[in-house]
Structure 1
Amino acid sequence: MGALDDLRVLDLTQVLAGPYCTMLLADMGADVVKVERPGGDMIRSNPPYVADSDDEAYGGYFQSVNRGKRSLELDLRTDEDRAAFLSLVERADVVVENFKAGTMERFDCGYETLREHNPQLIYSSIRGFGDPRTGETERQGQPSFDLIAQALGGVMEITGPEDGPPTKVGPGVGDIFTAALNAVGVLAAVHHRERTGEGQYVDTAMYDAMVSLAERSIYQYSCDGEAPTRQGNSHPTLFPYDAFETADGHAVVAAFNDRHWETLCAAMDRPGLAADYPDAAARLDDRERLRAEIADWTRDQTTAELVERLDGRVPAAPVQDASDVFEDPHVHGREMLADVAQPGAAEPMTVAGSPIKMTETNPRPRGRAPLLDEHREEILGEGETETDAGRTGAESD
């Protein structure tokens, strides 16, 4: 039983932001019906594949963020499919879409229309620049991707080496952080509806989300009038809080409070540094010299030796790649790697598990991603068999 197993979601999203949002809901038990345009989500065919075989139904990108959903292919431009969609809306709790503003209105399936069919409906959109209903701007209707959102929101300006160009954060945070915020908004709207019976519109913009993610830049600029820029892996107000080269890789050390600093200096056999720089302000004033001192020490040790020497007394960790993550017992103990069936391949695909942990209704990937239109008969037939007492549903194998 999932915490959201009484929630039905119609998911019209594609690529990453929208599917990640509804994936979170599906992992928590919601019945997520992926309503796909003719031909399906544009990202279905994106590599990589488990066996690099033409027989595989979809690639890792699609599998990762669409696991545990059901698929129905509809063309909202046709009367028949639009009528089928509206019949689903009448029995749904949530609709999520990530089209450009105005797209659903062109299908005559905008929020106001769907609300007529289901007054308690929660309608959620994820767009690059938000929806006019919650704050109109001249950017709305423009296309956006993760790269655009990171650039506009200030994330790229504060990411990368000090002497290098603005740099995109590796994971698609413009999509994924926006998606997580949207899931929070949807669940808040569900809670509000339980108390009042009122549905509502939930709107999360990628640009807005990146401004929120870069919150440190906002308050820094407000306080001193200087726009923060890149400074590598260091921190503007904490030291040491940085990545350091080791004999065989890199490790991070976060020893910015006085106790951790003293412990680090003792591990370096440099107690005089602790005495000469007893507080955070002194360390920040001479951070370049101190960073060089620490770097000289870390380069003489392997990453494992460094982490073992600090041994939990000072926050430190190796900089890991994906192969290290796969081997980390902590990751397995937390069930953060999940195997799901891959149609067309003999071996399963491994996807990231759910980071949300609950003692009674623990979220988990609930089966593989669906084949295109795999659940047509099942979904459209439910309207004839479903009663007010509950709903039917089946997880994918």
Structure 2
Amino acid sequence: MPDNPGILAGVRVLDFSRMLSGPYCTMMLADHGAEVIKIESPDGDTSRSNGPYRDDDPDHLWAGYFVSLNRSKKSIVLDLKSAEGRDAALKLAEDADVLLENFRPGVMERLGLGYDDVAEINPKLVYASISGFGNPRNGESPYAKWPSYDVVAQAMGGLMSITGPDAATPMKAGPGVGDIFTGMMMAFAIVAALRHAEHNGEGQFIDVAMYDAMVSLCERIIYQQDIEAVLPVPTGNGHPLLAPFGLFPASDGFISIGVVDDAFWQALTTAMDMPGLADDKRFSDKAGRRENAALVNDIVKGWTTRFTKAELATKLGGKLPFGPVNNARDIMEDPHVAVRGMLAELAHPIPGAKPWTVAANPVRFSKTPAPSLKAAPVLGADNSRYLEFCSRSDKT
């Protein structure tokens, strides 16, 4: 049975990005059928050398970091600092729909591959730029020339200011949210700009700053500061506006509960076999529970700690927002993950080698299923295809 082409089949993307934000963006596009041509330096994307590596990969050719983010893409090697490399990139751009880069502002211009250079030869091209603090075209940040990674975006964009056990202990989020959320926002922007290009025949420049994306992600702290004039700070595993809401101990780990309205509070007190709590005026509505949050949370903690996560799932699952705190092993063994197909196997290019298991794409289309995922490319694997025939207009 032939593979599904995907909803983005026919879209050709030149991917000049590296590390996480850009590759995550183009991963989202490749997962749904876009032809993503990864343009790498002779040394390759930095993430190729970041690990981790399996024991059956003694030459360290297949870093997990690279394998997961660059699946289903093509790879060509160009020295963009050379005239030949620049000319080849421009030739490829003639027939591309999208160009993505995540260098600091000014780098692509110095290489002769800036938006104005490329738009001159392909006015319909969508040119997407990810950077730490945005492109000067849309307002020059005082930090425009600063390098940035996820940890910087999380810090400056507000996420760390509300993450951690208390106000004195800000913390970064576990995953690279500063990169990943920025990449997701850019994937949305690219698809929106492609729609405009299809209808109007004109491409455009897209600019997403990691700092800006984090401000958008942390929208709650902006309206809190505006409306309440209270500086939001870390609240541990609780919530500044709701109770009980957050993390609670079980006898063998932790579970999460989210009581956002009075009906869920009543369901919880019933499950706890404490019906009097539902009628207690201190806790009977959201305002009261917020005012007495410490007491509410202590009562719930005292109850949850008596049971295992599985026992609490039986008592609370389906009755109110509830979930156990899963680690990677728990996730890989969860029936939800299996039935939803959230673990994907990537066949290894070497015959007989063990496939990789990666997190699958979560987006599901009823009419246009995503194609099966392919392995990440060997560095320069597609040189002969694209560098010899880069002037072809057909997108195969």
TM-score range, shorter chain: over 0.9
Identify which range, 178-187 or 252-261, moves more after superposition: 252-261
Equivalent position amino acid for 1:355 in 2? P
Measure the CA separation in 2 of the matches of 1:302 and 1:364: 40
Q: How does 1:168-187 map to 2 (within 5 A)?
A: 168-187=172-191
Q: Secondary structure at the match of 2:300?
A: helix
Which residue of 1 is the match for residue 341 of structure 2?
335
Contact 2:133–2:210 (Cα < 8 Å) also in 1: yes
Identity across matched positions, percent? 47
1:189 maps to which of 167, 183, 193 = 193
Question: Aligned residue for 2:207?
Answer: 203
CA distances 1:250-290 after superposition (whole Å, capped 9, x unpaired): 00111231111111111111111100022111111111111
1:356 deviates by: 0.8
Give the alignment partner of residue 298 of structure 2, picking from 292, 295, 305.
292
Post-superposition offset of 1:47: 1.4
Amino acid at match of 2:218: A
Alignment-mate amino acid for residue 353 of structure 1 = A
Asked if the contact 2:101/2:128 (under 8 Å) is kept, the reply is: yes
Higher mean alpha-carbon deviation, 354-363 vs 243-252, is at 354-363
Instruction: Give the SS at the match of 2:116.
Output: helix
Structure 2 counterpart SS, 1:288: helix
Query: Hey, what does 2:363 align to over in structure 1?
Result: 356
Moved more, 88-97 or 337-346: 337-346
What secondary structure does 2:390 align onto?
helix
**Aligned partner (choices 25, 35, 58) of residue 29 of structure 2:** 25
Tell me if the contact between 1:57 and 1:343 (Cα under 8 Å) persists in the aligned partners: no
Structure 2 equivalent of residue 156 of structure 1: 160
Supply the distance in 2 between the matched residues of 1:326 and 1:224 (Cα, whole angstroms).
Answer: 42
Which residue in 2 is equivalent to 1:37?
41
- The CA distance in 1 between the partners of 2:74 and 2:138, in whole Å, is 30
Q: Would you say 1:376 and 2:383 are equivalent positions?
A: yes
Q: Following the alignment from structure 1 to structure 2, what is the Cα–Cα distance between the partners of residues 49 and 349? A: 11
Deviations along 1:348-375, one digit per CA (max 9) or x if unpaired, are 1111100111112223553000000000
Q: In the alignment, which residue of structure 1 is the partner of 2:11?
A: 7
Instruction: Tell whether 2:113 aligns with 1:109.
Output: yes
Moved more, 255-264 or 241-250: 255-264
Q: Quick one: which amino acid aligns to residue 239 of structure 1?
A: A
The residue that corresponds to 2:140 in the other structure is: 136
State how 1:228-377 maps to structure 2 within 5 Å. 228-276=232-280, 277-343=283-349, 346-364=353-371, 366-377=373-384
Which of 113, 122, 128 is matched with 2:126 structurally? 122
- The residue aligned with 1:85 is 89
Please state whether the residue corresponding to 1:44 is helix, strand or coil.
Answer: helix
Q: Deviations over 1:298-348 (max 9, x none)?
A: 111001101111131111110000000000111111111111133568211
Measured in 2, the distance between the counterparts of 1:356 and 1:381 equals 35
Aligned partners of 1:339 and 1:351 also within 8 Å: yes
Q: How far apart are the structure 1 equivalents of 2:25 and 2:376?
A: 15
Query: Runs of 4+ in structure 1 displaced over 4 angstroms?
Result: none
Unaligned 5+ segments in structure 1 are 393-397
1:395 corresponding residue in structure 2: none
**In the alignment, is the contact (CA less than 8 A) between 2:342 and 2:361 conserved in 1?**
yes
Query: Which amino acid letter does the alignment assign opposite residue 238 of structure 1?
Result: L
Local SS of the residue matching 1:75: coil
Distance 2:80 2:318 in 1: 57
Separation of aligned partners in 2, 1:256 and 1:11: 42
CA distance in 2, matches of 1:280, 1:255: 9
| 1:163 CA displacement | 5.9
Kindly report the root-mean-square deviation, in angstroms, between the aligned alpha carbons of the 2 structures: 1.4
TM-score by length of structure 1 reads 0.95
Q: Do the aligned partners of residues 109 and 163 (structure 1) sit closer, same or farther apart at CA in structure 2, a change above 3 Å counting? A: closer
Q: Conserved in 2, the CA contact under 8 Å of 1:261 and 1:274?
A: yes
